[in-house]
Amino acid sequence: MSDIVIITAIKAELDADTLVRGYAGMTDEEATDDLNTAYRSRNRTSMTGKEVKDAIDTGEWDSRSAAQRQELLAMVARDDLDPFGIDAHILTEAMTGAGGVTVAALAAARVETISRAQELWGMDLVVGDIQHARSL
């Protein structure tokens, strides 16, 4: 997106205040801070094998058979795991019955917390962005 398109979109967000954040009553600095504060969430589109491996509970790992461990190791060797597709299903099936700590950790890890600015424009804002938008 071009700078003017982003600034125009920021102005629209400030004016509409769709999440009722109270932008009209905020200073430029306060609005910047609010838009950059991570209070939104979104589903991740991919996870690394290390992220998945780090979510595996050691006690649950120990309760897996050698074959299950090999299957899990092969999967976490990849860095393009789909946290909502077949990869998630395979991991959940492989860890089911192990107590649920790993499955719960993986469910939490596949959702990330982001700012409103990241959600809308994929970047954090600076005070100048708000000032420019408000000057339009």
Render pLDDT for 57-110 as a digit per residue (tens, 0 to 9).
999 999 888 998 998 999 999 999 999 999 998 888 888 765 589 889 999 999
Confirm if 41 and 118 have CB atoms less than 8 A apart.
no
Domain assignment of residue 72, yes or no: yes
What's phi and psi for 90, nearest 5 deg? -60, -45
Domain assignment of residue 78, yes or no: yes
Tens digit of pLDDT for each residue in 38-55? 999 999 999 999 999 999
Q: Measured at the alpha carbon of residue 87, what is the angle toward residues 47 and 44, in degrees to the nearest 5?
A: 35
DSSP lists the bridge partners of residue 42 as 112
Confirm if 91 and 106 have CB atoms less than 8 A apart.
yes
Residue 8 banded pLDDT, cuts 50, 70, 90: very high
Same domain, 94 and 53: yes
Confirm if 14 and 136 have CB atoms less than 8 A apart.
no
At which residue do the structure tokens 């959940």 appear?
Answer: 92
The answer to whether the pTM exceeds 0.85 is no
Same domain, 18 and 54: no
User: What is the extent of the structural domain holding 36?
Assistant: 3-40+121-135
Same domain, 61 and 31: no
Overall average pLDDT of the 20-46 stretch: 97
Integer angstrom CA distances of residue 101 from 57, 74, 92: 6, 21, 11
Domain assignment of residue 114, yes or no: no
Domain assignment of residue 64, yes or no: yes
